[in-house]
Amino acid sequence: MSQPSTSAPSPRQPPDAAIVPDYAAIKQRQQATWASGDFAIIGVTLQIVGESLAEAADIRAGERVIDIAAGNGNATLAAARRFARVTSTDYVPSLLDKGRARAAAEGLDIEFREADAEALPFYDGNFDVALSTFGVMFAPDHARCASEMMRVVRGGGRIGIASWTPEGFIGQLFKTVGRRVPPPAGLVSPAMWGKEDYLRQLFGLDAASIRAQPKMFNFRYASAAHMIQVFRDYYGPVHKAFAALDPAGQQALEQDMIALFDRHNTAGDSSLVVPAEYLEAVIIKRTPEVLH
């Protein structure tokens, strides 16, 4: 049975974090945010990202794979379809339930565990591969999360991560929402995980190599108004942002989002197709030197 390490991870805090946020309080609010709405409605549209990441990480049959902050299980299913032994983790039970239902529908044998990405309940080196698609990037303590990912992967194992970039559409959406509903002071933007140099800062000491490639995902909706309604109803961060504003603020945020969506729309007046840049990264964990 998997158990937590007896030694605490040694997070490497980014040097530009001048203000130390209350991570415990932020995490509690984030957990409530992701439990609101129904992220699975949007999550299933992102399945192609999980498939691409599973290929980039070279998932092989029989390997022990953990999907961290798995949501409703896109990377989980992708790895299981490649006959890996998969453990799917998230700290929102309702999202794990959605993953269980998807796995049952496909007849896939997957273990589901409620777990915090910053305190994973597994032995050191318990897995061959760790995956996360748009998941770990939202953990408030980036350094601790990176340290935990490294800890539970064996030497020579791989970590595959897909993260939205600061410059891409979702990174711009974060900024648009943040102008109306500011994030907690001192919190590093989740979109920093979409920068290769930041990943090297987080993982570099323990990484034998880091391979990163910018990629695009196309959001496809009927119109800007349609996408806003879906995100407002089902995407936790946007759902909570609207709930925090008075009617005038809600209208202003909606207009800001329509302007953003229209600027990025490549489909003309017929529908909405919004290319969103993300970074696909594969990190190889350094193998400890053996002293003779």
The per-residue pLDDT for range 111-152, each reduced to its tens digit, is 999 999 999 999 999 999 999 999 999 999 999 999 999 999
Residue 159 pairs in a beta bridge with: 130, 283
Tell me the pLDDT band of 4, cut-offs 50, 70 and 90: very low
Tell me 72's DSSP state: T
* 8, pLDDT greater than 70: no
Q: What is the distance between the alpha carbons of residues 181 and 238, in angstroms, rounded to a whole number?
A: 10
Percentage, residues of the chain above pLDDT 70: 92
- Complete domains list, the chain, with CATH: 23-220+274-285 (3.40.50.150)
Percentage, residues of the chain above pLDDT 90: 80
This prediction has a pTM of 0.89
Closest by CA to 41, choosing from 94, 80, 106, 93, is 94
DSSP 91-151: S-HHHHHHHHHHHHHHT---EEEE-BTTB--S-TT-EEEEEEESSGGG-S-HHHHHHHHHH
Q: What is the distance between the alpha carbons of residues 100 and 85, in angstroms, rounded to a whole number?
A: 15
